[in-house]
Amino acid sequence: MTVPRSPVRQAGRGGPLESGRDQVEGTRIVPDEMQVGRRPVLPTGSGGGSGGGFDGGSGGGLDDAGPRSRLGRTVHALYERDRVVLLVLLALAALARLPGLAGRGDFDGDQGHDMLVLLRLVRDGQIPLLGPPTSIGNFHHGAAYYYLLAPFAWLSGGDPLAVLFEIALFGIAAVGVTWWLARAIGGRTAGAIAGLLLAVSPAAVEESTFIWNPNPIPFFAVVSLAAAWHARATGRARWSTLAVASAGMVVQLHVLGIVFLPPIVALGIAEAARASRAGDFARVRATIACLVAGFAVVLVLFVPLIVHELQTDFLETDRVIEYLRSGGGGGNLDPIERLVFTGLRIIGWPLVGLVTSAPFAAILTVSVALVLGIWLMIGGRGEQRSAARWLGFTVLWTASALSVLAPSLQTVVIGLPNDHYHAFMDPVVVILVALSMRSLAAGSGPEAIVDRAARLLASVALVALVALDVSRWPPETQSNGGWPAAKAAGERIVAAAPGVTFDVRSVPDFKSAEGIGFPIIAAGGSARISMGVESASLPLVDGADIVIVCDRLFEEVLGESCGGPAERSLLGRLTSNDATGGQPVLVEQFDASPRTSVSIYRR
């Protein structure tokens, strides 16, 4: 493969063009940091075309002769315009996420809870000190999640669709930052591949289409990665502050984001150590100062939690300690099996989605990604190898840490979100795969046939992966109908008994009823809403109509079906010790969605 270079760059590397013989036979030069191995390079005008393609920088084409047709030259010219590539990737990401946004994601207990907190914040001025409750212990994520969504909630008067649109924007923006970082490390082609993979990733699309605290994580994670790498590449230590602060936001969005912080800090410390070896102590001091400044921002993010702890005698801290002492939620696999399965989910999630729903494709894709990543970590050159090692060890560290801290990753619950624990790894995996595919396609030797075979192999793999991803996008409408179904249910309940207070309960009782409780409030009703096992066992509200929401996803666990038996069992438990009111009578029963049954009772 021959890589064309401009006369200016050729002169900068090895002097001006010397003769026609050099132009025909090619001149071996030391490759730049975007190349993997030494290769013959022909100057511009010798049949090498004008560059682009799999070389990543401004040289190299998909074919030794360059694009021959007018269409090929036009596409090639557009490809070399970074703004055009970025706009295409962002448009693709938007098309994958925004159409039918209201009904594409679940609107259930978690979403109802978040919207109730946001409504109290923007309407009533109740400032939350804690974030959403965790699914791994009896403690909470960071309150910064609510502050992040508050502007759109305030502008819309608490409309879930506006909040959902903001989350989708974070998902789209993550594609742009991922493109930028991959391009900064590996050139145009690496950037295009990384941006494309994240734009069409079924996991990334799903994370952009419903309200949930882990869903903005990929954006803040890739901003942290990009800032940390930019600080290293440019020597501008102040970017380390943004890197640490963004990593702190990842921790706010999910407590297990604490695992993401060490690799970010480690890169800054490594840069300080390198500056120290070079005797550049001013740079050492600047790097350390900027890292400390980043932690100061993180501390500010935790101020609400600190206030809460001081008010409650460190209740959250005690709950975290209790969780850690309990073994972190159990798990039946041995440590090696945990590591392997956790690694499979971390790598497979952004590439193919939930690995258990497509096990063969997941194992094949993850295996290829591992081989390519290890190859680049060992055989790469320059900055690409450094980046590959940093990203690769981040994957290994995260898999090891989460196999201990989150053994619940060994369990998959069909129909519920499962891989939010490691959403911060999505851009890490995608960028590492993109760098590896770009390096494979670039070739490593002077044999043209080998280079063409490598490019063909990389192209086929990329097309196959994109096709697989698109086929695994979430459905246009979720089984519980999303916000439109919940909104219609809330309006129907309020219309059935105007001016009445509703006592909203859930079946099963460990599940929050806020998925219907919030729509009742949004429709102008008044309600006391069950939020879990503790509140589900409270006595019925005197004079209130009883609303029972039954989720058919849990019928096997309940041993009873929704639409009658399950609801009657709950009512029997609630009224067994209640002698103040009569026996509840069914007023109305309807399906809010194929998955959700709603029953209204009156005493």
Question: pLDDT per residue over 247-258, tens digit each?
Answer: 999 999 999 999
pTM: 0.86
Same domain, 17 and 33: yes
Kind plus residue range of the DSSP H or E element containing 351: helix 335-352
Residue 1 lies in a domain: no
pLDDT confidence of 81, banded at 50, 70, 90? confident
Query: Looking at this protein, which amino acid is placed at residue 134?
Result: T
Do 466 and 487 lie in one domain? The reply is no
- Choosing from 424, 442, 471, the residue where a domain stops is 471
pLDDT of residue 74: 74
Cα–Cα distance, 146 to 347 (Å, whole number): 29
Residue 476 within a domain: no
pLDDT at 13: 38
Residues 445, 389: one domain? yes
Q: How far is CA 505 from the centre of its chain?
A: 32
pLDDT digits (tens, 9 = 90+) for 565-596: 999 999 988 887 665 667 889 999 999 999 99
Task: Give me the mean pLDDT over the 432-459 stretch.
Answer: 81
Provide the domain count of the chain: 3
Verify that 75 and 200 share a domain, yes or no. no
State the pLDDT at residue 19.
38
Contact 397, 389 (CB under 8 A): no
**Closest of 174, 310, 171, 287 to residue 239, by C-alpha:** 287
**Phi/psi of residue 579, each to 5°?**
-100, 5
Parent domain of 419? 85-315+324-471
At 156-173, the pLDDT tens digits run: 999 999 999 999 999 999
Give the C-alpha separation, 338 to 332, whole Å: 9
Evaluate whether residue 234 is within a structural domain. Answer: yes
Q: Which of 53-67, 301-315, 342-356 has the highest mean pLDDT?
A: 301-315
Inform me whether the pLDDT recorded for 36 exceeds 80. Answer: no
Task: Answer whether residue 199 shows pLDDT above 90.
Answer: yes
Instruction: Decide the pairing of beta strands 596-602 and 585-591.
Output: antiparallel
| 587 lies in some domain | yes
Above 70 in pLDDT, residue 444?
no
Domain termination residue (choose one: 422, 441, 471): 471
Q: What is the pLDDT of residue 2?
A: 43
In terms of domains, do 64 and 146 share one?
A: no
Q: Clarify whether residues 503 and 426 are in a common domain.
A: no
> Which range, of 15-19, 124-128, 517-521, averages the lowest pLDDT?
15-19
Give the pLDDT of residue 240.
Answer: 98
Residue 225, in any domain of the structure = yes
Q: How far is CA 1 from CA 47, 55, 57, 191, 461, in A?
A: 12, 10, 15, 21, 20
Higher-pLDDT residue of 39, 300 = 300
Q: Do 39 and 169 fall within a single domain?
A: no
Q: Check whether residue 461 and residue 575 sit in a common domain.
A: no
Question: What's the confidence (pLDDT) of residue 453?
Answer: 82
Q: Around 268, how many Cα atoms within 13 Å sit in the side-chain half-sphere?
A: 31
More confident residue, 195 or 410: 195
Residues near 105 by beta carbon (within 8 Å), at least 6 away in sequence: 164, 206, 209, 210, 211, 474, 478, 482
Is residue 275 included in any domain, yes or no? yes
pLDDT at 329 over 70: no
Question: What value does the mean pLDDT of the chain take?
Answer: 86
Confidence (pLDDT) at 246: 98
Q: Residue type at 162?
A: A
Choose the weakest-confidence range: 215-224, 292-301, 342-351, 408-417: 408-417
Which value, to the nearest 10 degrees, does the dihedral of the CA atoms of residues 176, 179, 184, 186 take? 180
Residue 477: inside a domain: no
Whether residue 410 is contained in a domain is answered as yes
User: At 151, is the pLDDT very low, low, confident or very high (cuts 50, 70, 90)?
Assistant: very high
Q: Are residues 572 and 530 in the same domain?
A: yes
The last residue of one of the domains, among 471, 493, 514, is: 471
Report whether pLDDT(181) > 60. Answer: yes
Determine the average pLDDT of the residues in 174-182.
98
Same domain, 157 and 182: yes
Edge-to-edge strand ranges of the sheet holding 585-591: 526-529, 501-507, 545-551, 596-602, 585-591
Share of the chain above pLDDT 90, in %: 66
The per-residue pLDDT for 110 is 93
378 plus 501 within the same structural domain:
no
B/e letters for 530-551, b = 16+ CB within 10 Å, e = fewer, are bbbeeebeeebeeebbbbbbbb
Looking at residue 164, what is its pLDDT?
97
CA-CA distance, 296 to 302, in Å (whole number)? 10
Distance CA 30, CA 28 (A): 7
Residue 564 and residue 431 in one domain: no
